[in-house]
Structure 1
Amino acid sequence: MSDPNVSSPTPTVTSTVTSTVTSTVTGLERFDLLDLQPTGNATSFRLPVTRQLSTPFGFLYGGSGIAASAEASERVSDRPLQWITTQFLGSPGPGDVVDIEVHVAVEGRVTTQTQVSGSVDGRLVFTSLCAHNVRPAGDEASFADMPTVPPPADCPEFAMPFDVAHDGSFFDHLERRMARGVVAGDAIGRPQTPPIGIWARLTAHPTGSAATQGFIADMGPLVVCATLGIAPGGTSLDNTIRVVDPRPSEWVLLEMTPDGFHRSVGHSTVRIWSEDGRLLGIAQQSAIIRTSHHDAQA
């Protein structure tokens, strides 16, 4: 989503998929990879669950659910999203259609708060709470510093974390490079010292809007597992995205830190940095750390 008070050129991104940026009349960007479809009701949408929005194990990627809630809420409120927290209640798969409903709980002069639900055949699969803000920009400040890491071109490619076919899944729409530490198989038996850094970019869209930040930063279980030195795997319970600066960046650095682990649930924080050192957003996630669902869905 574009800040109407800041003039910033959109980065040039080489596209390998047919996903584009489409602006509404208010300037809010749409994340077309979602293919979020309107209905006859202005507060209702349809999200066809496709392979490209799903994990290699055949269920909707959490980042896709967050992104869909964020964009639906922006379309209804006609205001840029500042904060979203999403709770995951089910695991729809390719072929399912998620019916998304947006309820405007409060609409003020400059702030709107909404409640979003996603259901398949009447069964809830995720819910979100959202806050939107149209106060003027120009008062930006960040109280943390971006870690010093090599640029993306000098970092090794991200190794696929699972021994399963991933062609066509959401993995194909992300390019990732390891900037600091290791994850997945490289970290098994080698507990990592956080933070872990991953450069990431969407193959056909810059990252900045709430939807794109939610899509790209849903990776908390990776850093929890790497810090424990165990095989990667997690089922998200929830994820919160706090949008700090929505001005887009082609590459973003994910500064990933585990916060705690108890009763098989891992908590983590991911700071999202632009290439020029701006803090774009913060993702905070809780997930059941496990791999049992991999065999069940493979």
Structure 2
Amino acid sequence: MNAREWLGLEPTHNPMRWYLPVTPGICSGLGTLFGGCGLGAAIEALERTTGRPVVWASAQYLNYTRPPSVVDLDVHIGAHGRSTTQARVLGQVGDTEIFTVNASLGAREFAEEGQWVTMPDAPAPDDCPPREYRFDPGNTIASRLESRMAVDTPGTGRTAFWSRITGMSMNSAAALAVLGDFVPMGLGQTLTSEIGSNSLDNTLRVLHSAVTDWVLVDVRIEAVARGFGHGHIYLWAEDGTLMGTASQSAMIRIWQERRR
């Protein structure tokens, strides 16, 4: 299954407009659209509309939306050159803006290439225990991900887990967008308080294509200040290829306070 089918993204008669039915399978445990799925859908719409691969895409999350709403995704091309397209996507439910995504797309031939960071030393996926959830994930997005904890050192700001998306190839920018939305999970592993958090943004940079069954989601929390947490994610193929990076900021709340 390709990313468009997995997300449920559908075209319309207008090549610049797509729509995304919000179903439980693309929602978080809060019952709202999972930010990485919104960004992934925007990336799919951009790549299919322009015919070019995403270099980077940055989402700002503005409002929540729940099933059975439908998000309209309108593609706007700001500049289209010989090798690069600058574009954005506005995601709305009716007149309410849910998210906006800015992006650059394209590919160029260049003689030099390199990778100057290395994957952390982590056990193979089969040697790692399954990730445990605070609550039964039900039929949310968590039920469509298989995750295994590889590095779990509370209080250090470092968490890494192997993950794969049931029924979808891992070799797509949309898949990386989904897996790049786990800075909030890293915050929960880092802080001593029992917290909940929600993403304000997600910026994905797509580097290399690689054939891999699992992706190592390497979460690095940098700081928590003024009630917000900030971190980066490195997305590694099993052979050590850096497929992409993501960065996020998230609002943090004490878990009991959020439930009230």
Unaligned runs of 5+ in 1: 1-19, 22-29, 183-190
The 5 A counterparts of 1:241-252 are 241-252=204-215
Two-structure CA RMSD over aligned residues (Å): 1.6
Shift of 1:292: 6.3
Amino acid at match of 1:131: S
Q: Percent identity?
A: 36
Match of 1:149 among 122, 125, 131: 122
Amino acid at match of 2:62: L
The 5 A counterparts of 1:89-168 are 89-136=62-109, 139-160=112-133, 162-163=134-135, 165-168=136-139
Match of 2:53 among 66, 80, 104: 80
Task: Give SS of 1:141's match.
Answer: coil
Q: Is the 8 A contact 2:157 2:187 kept in 1?
A: no
Query: Where does residue 288 of structure 1 map in the other structure?
Result: 251
Match of 1:52 among 14, 20, 25: 25
Match of 2:198 among 226, 235, 241: 235
Equivalent-residue separation in structure 2 for 1:292 and 1:107 (angstroms): 49
Shift of 1:205: 1.8
Shift of 1:159: 0.3
**1:180 maps onto 2:151 in alignment:** yes
Q: Is the 8 A contact 1:112 1:131 kept in 2?
A: yes
Q: Decide whether aligned partners of structure 1 residues 96 and 229 sit closer, same or farther in structure 2, where only a CA change above 3 A counts.
A: same
Shift of 1:139: 4.0
Task: Give SS of 2:196's match.
Answer: coil
The 5 A counterparts of 1:177-216 are 177-181=148-152, 191-216=154-179
Q: Is the 8 A contact 2:77 2:87 kept in 1?
A: yes
Equivalent-residue separation in structure 2 for 1:244 and 1:148 (angstroms): 21
Query: Where does residue 140 of structure 2 map in the other structure?
Result: 169
Q: Is the 8 A contact 1:87 1:127 kept in 2?
A: yes
Q: Decide whether aligned partners of structure 1 residues 128 and 294 sit closer, same or farther in structure 2, where only a CA change above 3 A counts.
A: same
Q: Is the 8 A contact 1:208 1:245 kept in 2?
A: no
Equivalent-residue separation in structure 2 for 1:45 and 1:219 (angstroms): 26
Shift of 1:240: 0.3
Equivalent-residue separation in structure 2 for 1:293 and 1:64 (angstroms): 26
Unaligned runs of 5+ in 2: none
Which range is displaced more, 202-211 or 149-158? 202-211
Task: Give SS of 2:120's match.
Answer: coil
Shift of 1:249: 1.7
TM norm structure 1? 0.83
Shift of 1:248: 3.6
Amino acid at match of 1:295: R
Equivalent-residue separation in structure 2 for 1:58 and 1:146 (angstroms): 33
Q: Decide whether aligned partners of structure 1 residues 215 and 137 sit closer, same or farther in structure 2, where only a CA change above 3 A counts.
A: farther
Structure whose residues are more often strand by fraction: 2
The total of aligned residue pairs comes to 259
Shift of 1:192: 2.4
Equivalent-residue separation in structure 2 for 1:292 and 1:119 (angstroms): 31
TM norm structure 2? 0.95
